[in-house]
Structure 1
Amino acid sequence: MTGTTSRAPERARRLQNVDALRGFALFGILAVNIWAFADPYYASTETNPGFDSGIDHAVRFVVSLLFETKFYLLFSFLFGYSFTLQMAAAERAGRGFVPRMLRRQGGLLAIGLLHGAALYYGEILSTYALLGLVLVACRNISPATALRLGAMLIVASSAVWMLLGVAQLAVGDVTGSSASDAVGKLSAFQGDATATLAFHSGHLPDTLAALWLLQGPSAMAMFFFGFAAGRLRVFADPERYRDVMKRILVFGLPVGLIGAATYALAAAYAPGGGLETVAFGFGQLTAPALTATYVVAALLLFRTAFGRRVETAVAPMGKAALTNYLVQSLLLGVLFTGYGLGLVDRLPPLAVVAVVPVVFLVQMAASRLWLRGHPYGPAEWVLRAVTLAEVPPWRSPRTVPTRTDRRYRRDSEE
């Protein structure tokens, strides 16, 4: 197979650092997604008129600076990395990879669409499911080719957005003035469960189309970057890439922060117009550098005594990442929409931020408790059953494992 190394396949073992990075990504995704539930003006052409202090705007600036457009890239990168683990698992099991992966992507698409229609219209799983088919088609490319394709996608998509922003500025569209759907969203989320469900399902098609334009190219690029890292087994032996990681820190941090600050300023103070579009394009160009910095910083942290404890604590979140992503939407729905308390637009930004670690810590504890008696999260179990076209074990075996149980354990990288 093109791009493979001459080494024998590594021993089948779950990479705890990959799970911990998934858990870290879930924290960042929660820190971004919560605003789609708590603030009806989020991602619109208007600034929330209720933000009446410098602290309110500063909070939104920090979220845009450190979290927005960074953590879905990390999740995308890890999706690409896990794709190579799926390839290795299929090879060890002696099964055809393509049918297996097509079933997996089909299952992910179904879960994503149900999630989007019922819980969060801005879901990204269905995008991942369809973009993953591109990775299936490109499964034989070399790591170098994957890196080139990813870089080309980042540069091309960023250039398009910046040119689009320049065109907006040329016709005087500086900060945006079109009406948003904030009033409709506020009414739906403060209404009953039926109103909330209607809003999610009604906005899903348009939102998915927007996400394909906004996030599709960069997500695909990160798929390719993660695929290259997986073929090189970067997380299986990170020490081997220490010099590369140092260069990423030196280069990626300043470049990523400059782009992130540019985007954050425009998103917080000039939303909806040409300035934000140009800044978004520039941010898309530099965001992978900041995301790479986050990855390297986490890997270096995991090498310390304190970091190993952090890795162990967060890894269960990542092992049940799909379940936790869905549960995040459910919990935020109960807090902020007609499914529960209806707190949309009622909490100040600082209070919204304070909800994030509380939800995350609850999920950490629940994940750890669940995985004591179960090999997979509930959503992972469903997706695994679809992928393998078999019923995997629901509970962790407490006796001598059967041949079937041993095979499922060997097949548990993803």
Structure 2
Amino acid sequence: MRSHQSHPTILDAPPGTGKGARIASVDALRGFALLGILVVNIAFLASGYRMAGHAEPAFQGPLDWGVRWSVTLFLENKFYLLFSFLFGYSFTLQLDSAARQGLRFTPMFLRRLGGLFLLGLAHAVLLFPGDILTTYAAVGVALLVLRRITPKAAVVLAVGLTALLALAFVLLAVLTSTGLDMSHTVADTAAEAARSDQALVGGVWQIITEHVRKLSLILVLRVFFQGPAVLAACLIGLAVGKLGLLRDLSAHQDTLRRLQWIGFTVGLSGALFYTASAWTGAVHKFWGEAVDLVTAPLLAAAYAATFLRLLPHLPGLGRVLAAPGRMALSNYLAQSLICSLIFTGYGLALVDRVSPPLEVAIACGVFAVQVLASQWWLGRHRYGPVEWWLRHLTYWRRPAGAVIPPPGG
């Protein structure tokens, strides 16, 4: 099935004012999406059953099922789309920044994508096979090729890609109903889940071997389905970035309201169908995926529109979320590391021993710590640690002014 993990994007524009300034609302939106991603992904990190599309056998109470349904209905596949949107949006900012500085963009961006691919490969093998960073590296090449596309053409291409993917899942649903065996592409049996859990509580080599095995199982769906879905969302972000729509939200309140009405009606209806396909068996999962591909972007857009409309009235919330959003890549990788230390043999080995409600509580606790850690770090450094490395690689030189001097220094 489609991966639910996403790569957090980083704006290269420096703090300050003017065209090159960071947009605080975008940083806050990224932080908001980072929390949603963690709440979704922790279930996949905590159990091989969840990765295989099954509920953990040990947790079958009403509260357990209520949490599963809620996370699937309201969060799953929505926040990874927000990150994809932000990847495409930040791509336009990086283009503008290079043009202002008179720098050659293509070699810089290719170095950045190379670094992203290496990070993703290490992340997938060592921590979480649901990694999507390598997918973003490939999508980034496509964005580079399409960088001169008009906003209208980008939207049309995104809609076309989404429609084709939905039709592909419809075809898979039809073929499966005729008896086609898809078990060789996804680990979808309880036996596979139990085997995975046993490996994940083992030693380092067992964990790495299991991660590589899972990668081989989901490779086909990742290449042919996840990549185009991510690209479609990136293209919408690219179009919004080219039009500069997020720089003056007050001028687009009517558009944001329309996104809310459409997203919360059509998007939630599709999410309910998707959730039913995932947990009740009333419809085949591929039918649910097809509907979700079309409607999840609308619900994600409604979330973003609501968040951006509320943000001026909740400045404190914006400041809290902006800090982890500014160093989202570092926080994203740290989330996988922390969860691996909790759930696998790297640390406490609590795979399948934590209930869904407790998983959500842990996710919220981890994020709260990350908010405080991000605020502390950014009070002393201009970039997050992984962002610093990626920027160093991009510009092929040590970032200037990376350390913020103390007051009076």
Q: TM-score, with normalisation over the residues of structure 2?
A: 0.90
Equivalent residue number for residue 391 of structure 2: 384
Q: CA deviation at 1:215?
A: 2.1
Equivalent residue number for residue 291 of structure 1: 300
CA distance in 1, matches of 2:138, 2:155: 20
Q: CA deviation at 1:354?
A: 1.2
The one of 310, 318, 323 equivalent to 1:301 is: 310
Q: CA deviation at 1:242?
A: 1.1
CA distance in 2, matches of 1:50, 1:363: 30
The one of 377, 393, 406 equivalent to 1:370 is: 377
Is the 8 Å Cα contact of residues 46 and 180 (structure 1) preserved in structure 2? no
Q: CA deviation at 1:180?
A: 5.0
1:198 aligns with 2:205: no
Q: CA deviation at 1:110?
A: 0.9
Q: Deviations over 1:283-316 (max 9, x none)?
A: 1110000000011011011121xx2111111101
SS, match of residue 76 in structure 1: helix
Judge which range, 212-221 or 356-365, deviates more: 212-221
Change (3 A) 1:45 1:248: closer
Q: Deviations over 1:186-240 (max 9, x none)?
A: 1122223332233224433444443233422211100000000101111111111
Is the 8 Å Cα contact of residues 146 and 225 (structure 1) preserved in structure 2? yes
SS, match of residue 41 in structure 1: helix
1:188 aligns with 2:219: no
Deviant stretches of 4+, over 6 Å: 172-177
Q: Deviations over 1:338-381 (max 9, x none)?
A: 11111110011111111111011011110010000000000000
Judge which range, 318-327 or 171-180, deviates more: 171-180
1:257 aligns with 2:268: yes
Number of residue pairs matched? 389
Change (3 A) 1:53 1:125: same
Is the 8 Å Cα contact of residues 122 and 208 (structure 1) preserved in structure 2? no
Equivalent residue number for residue 278 of structure 1: 287
Change (3 A) 1:68 1:333: same
Q: Which structure 2 residues correspond to residues 344-359 of structure 1 after superposition, within 5 A? A: 344-359=351-366
Q: Deviations over 1:104-136 (max 9, x none)?
A: 111111111111111111100110011110000
Change (3 A) 1:129 1:172: closer
Structure 1: any 5+ residue segments left out of the alignment? 1-8, 402-414
Q: Which structure 2 residues correspond to residues 122-271 of structure 1 after superposition, within 5 A? A: 122-171=130-179, 178=189, 180-270=191-281
Equivalent residue number for residue 126 of structure 2: 118
Change (3 A) 1:64 1:173: farther
Change (3 A) 1:204 1:171: closer
Q: CA deviation at 1:78?
A: 0.2
Q: CA deviation at 1:49?
A: 2.2
Is the 8 Å Cα contact of residues 117 and 197 (structure 1) preserved in structure 2? yes
1:68 aligns with 2:79: no
Structure 2: any 5+ residue segments left out of the alignment? 1-16
Judge which range, 195-204 or 23-32, deviates more: 195-204
Is the 8 Å Cα contact of residues 84 and 231 (structure 2) preserved in structure 1? yes
CA distance in 2, matches of 1:28, 1:52: 23
Is the 8 Å Cα contact of residues 334 and 340 (structure 1) preserved in structure 2? yes
CA distance in 2, matches of 1:231, 1:165: 37
Change (3 A) 1:131 1:246: same
Amino acid in structure 1 at the alignment position of 2:25: N
1:18 aligns with 2:26: yes
Is the 8 Å Cα contact of residues 252 and 292 (structure 1) preserved in structure 2? yes
CA distance in 2, matches of 1:208, 1:33: 19
Is the 8 Å Cα contact of residues 49 and 190 (structure 2) preserved in structure 1? no
CA RMSD of aligned residues (A): 2.3
Q: Deviations over 1:112-165 (max 9, x none)?
A: 111111111110011001111000000001111111111111111012102211
CA distance in 2, matches of 1:141, 1:358: 42
Q: Percent identity?
A: 39
